[in-house]
Amino acid sequence: ETGVTQSPTHLIKTRGQQVTLRCSSQSGHNTVSWYQQALGQGPQFIFQYYREEENGRGNFPPRFSGLQFPNYSSELNVNALELDDSALYLCASSLKYGELFFGEGSRLTVL
Amino acid sequence: ELKVEQNPLFLSMQEGKNYTIYCNYSTTSDRLYWYRQDPGKSLESLFVLLSNGAVKQEGRLMASLDTKARLSTLHITAAVHDLSATYFCAVDIEGRYSGGGADGLTFGKGTHLIIQP
């Protein structure tokens, strides 16, 4: 049984650019949640996808968007990058309403 | 707005000592989660506490939940160096799900624990 995998593990972008982060959910899981963890802080909920639709959203602007595919994998897209977007982005898969299983994260640096 | 507060935020202790990390939250949720995070790594689930009075133990760690006081504790007994990490508590605002609810989890800022030999 494969766990949650994320790519890329590290990336560097400049202000104003766009980034796409990817997540493959654990086998059998149909729900993907994304979290942003700034340095020295706890993770913050960005949004959740279930059956290819956004199912819930935290306090993040519309330039944070996502997709979920029929195989339940997911993408997080961030447009018009700002310096404050530098963070570890964590993906977690679960069954709907079930326990979260986190991936290793994608560390984004915005210069 | 749900607030989750941990204290202390930083703790340095010696091996063999006991200590407690506290997690206060501002909602009536009866579900609370503890995670461990090593530097540069992801979150590892430690405990899921699902009701008032719940107590769970794993090795030198024990977690408890008092929903009336809106307080959870993570107690470390006879600490060892391998327990050095950052520990987060998190609350499910909906209070009904196991973390995968549509509002996600609200995390505390974390307790950075260093255990010195």
How far B110 CA lies from chain A's nearest CA (Å)? 6
B5: nearest CA partner in chain A: A42
pLDDT the model gives residue A2: 64
Closest partner residue to B100 (CB to CB) among A43, A58, A99 is: A99
Residues in B touching A58 (Cβ below 8 Å):
103-104
pLDDT tens for each residue of B46-105: 999 988 888 999 999 999 999 899 999 999 999 999 999 999 999 987 655 555 666 788
Question: Touching check for A51 and chain B: CB below 8 Å?
Answer: no
How far B86 CA lies from chain A's nearest CA (Å)? 10
pLDDT the model gives residue A96: 76
B42: nearest CA partner in chain A: A104
pLDDT the model gives residue B97: 56
pLDDT the model gives residue A42: 95
How far A89 CA lies from chain B's nearest CA (Å)? 10
Residues in B touching A99 (Cβ below 8 Å):
45, 48, 98-100
Residues of chain A with pLDDT under 50: none
pLDDT the model gives residue B95: 55
Question: Touching check for B80 and chain A: CB below 8 Å?
Answer: no
Say which residues have a Cβ less than 8 Å from residue B72's Cβ, sequence separation at least 6. Answer: B22, B23, B25, B32, B34, B49, B63, B64, B65, B66, B89
How far B14 CA lies from chain A's nearest CA (Å)? 23
Closest partner residue to B43 (CB to CB) among A44, A90, A97 is: A90
Average pLDDT over residues B7-27: 95
Question: Touching check for B50 and chain A: CB below 8 Å?
Answer: no
Cβ atoms of A31 and B102 closer than 8 Å: no
pLDDT the model gives residue B115: 96
Task: Kindly indicate the confidence band of residue B4, based on its pLDDT and cuts at 50, 70 and 90.
Answer: very high
